[in-house]
Structure 1
Amino acid sequence: MTEQTYYTLKNGNKIPVVGFGTWQAENGEVAKQAVKSALEAGYRHIDTAMIYGNEASVGEAIKESGIAREELFITTKLWNKDHSYEKAKQAINDSLEKLNLDYLDLYLIHWPNPVDYREKWQQANADAWRAMEEAVEEGKIKNIGVSNFLPHHLKALEESATIQPVINQIYLNPSDQQKVIVDYCKNKGIVLEAYSPLGTGDIFKLKELEEIADSHNKTVAQVVLRWSLQKGFLPLPKSVTPSRIKENIELFDFELSEFDMGLIDALQGKAGQARNPDDVTF
């Protein structure tokens, strides 16, 4: 990064303002080389998940990079089948082993209402969260949070949580700005991580973005990621192409005007929206 900057979480810990996403990066050489390319490009924040199936490759890339562990911020996530106290404890240990790490910087509940726990999702999340809190006390995890949670999911969790979530990772880009949950999290001091910050492929077809990109001599991807940063979000762009990986972090040498930001804000609904977490079938 030309400018390594951090957000301060509400527990006082710091997190790099851009992360590298690894969803759909195939386990093996593809995922390993993508993460190595990201680390070489300057990323220090890597985001994976148990269900991505590539934790081992992410771990290999981290080890082979030679970068000091304390310089890195590594995230993984609890999958839907493990929403119980005992299963969550095991899942945390399994992820640490696959990643070949002594601790995780961030651990998230991946979805709030899995189909297997639909009749008792509140209790299931509370049980998993208790295991995560214990892992914090044991030094296995530095920060805990959630993903795809809406206000009613967070309110339920807050009732039993001793440690409150510091992150909510959600589908967030100009086409779905999720204002209700964004406002809720901002009021609670919860940092919003943006997965799929470039939306679906359709976002690259929007003429408004092409014009803004041309005016700054930047790409559409860089403009959309810069918008995310200026909104106070934490984008997690993903790619397995070294040139794009590098491009996606070159965001700190330009700024979007208020006019630009307004044009981008007006793209709500133009290129895909988030799925309802209470309707997922997994």
Structure 2
Amino acid sequence: MRSLDALRSLFRRPLALLVALVLLAGCQSTTLTADGLMQPSRPIAAAAFGEVERRGHSALVIDYQSGRTLFADQADELRYPASLTKLMTLYLVFEQLKSGRLSKDDQLLVSENAASKPPSKLGVEAGETIPVGLAIQALATKSANDVATIVAENLAGSEGAFAASMTAKARSLGMNRTRFANASGLPDPGQISTARDMAILARALMSRFPEYLPIFAVPSYEYRGKTYRATNKLLGKVAGVDGLKTGYINDAGSHLVATVKRGGRRLIVVVLGGKSGRERDEEVTALIERFAGPGF
């Protein structure tokens, strides 16, 4: 554990200086490669993608191993991703951990901006630090908005710069109808995606970082004497479900990207725009039973 003096010295400059030699600067789009955070490219206007349907419904089921589509309903229509955004935030963190530029014990400084984010949140105060390991769990389990901003600011210097890297990474993965404006999924008209793009992200995350998948199956964790329970209510309820992420904002409705393993095969199920968390969960469950049940 670093001493207090060492931490103060560390946070006189962005943690990103330790994560990569070249950081994001200004508002230019960026590319996040295996070598770290890099520069160039140009911003992508949200208007270039088309109109977003408020609370639009989408559903998609794919086979994880082959990527084959088993079911699709408006899977390529634009939606606001809400907290599904944090799958990409975690993807970029996992990349840095895998490369060795970041460790779970590294400390992240909490800014006033991050501490001010609305719930869902961990509730840390400006000037505090939290370890990367806790940040990962808070994002995956609690979907903490303050932690998403903490990660973005520490890794890239600003949330805008981090969001540009998120968009560039999305493009490199084939998520061609996705644009990120922040690291949390809080409301922003420029934050857009589709059910198919979210499935692409989930599949890439699972295949590249299998060592971190158990994080998404944790039903709860404790921090400072308080228990934080998973937002994914299918964990422990629907057989075979072992991740990934929920999301909700008023203009989007209730989202869920779920992964289920039965009979030696794995599916990724995406439902966007549920009228409620319960309705969304019921639809995901029905799709699981239809495509991953006996005889699958």
TM-score, length-scaled by structure 1: 0.26
Which structure features the higher share of strand residues?
A: 2
TM-score, length-scaled by structure 2: 0.26
Which structure features the higher share of helix residues?
A: 1
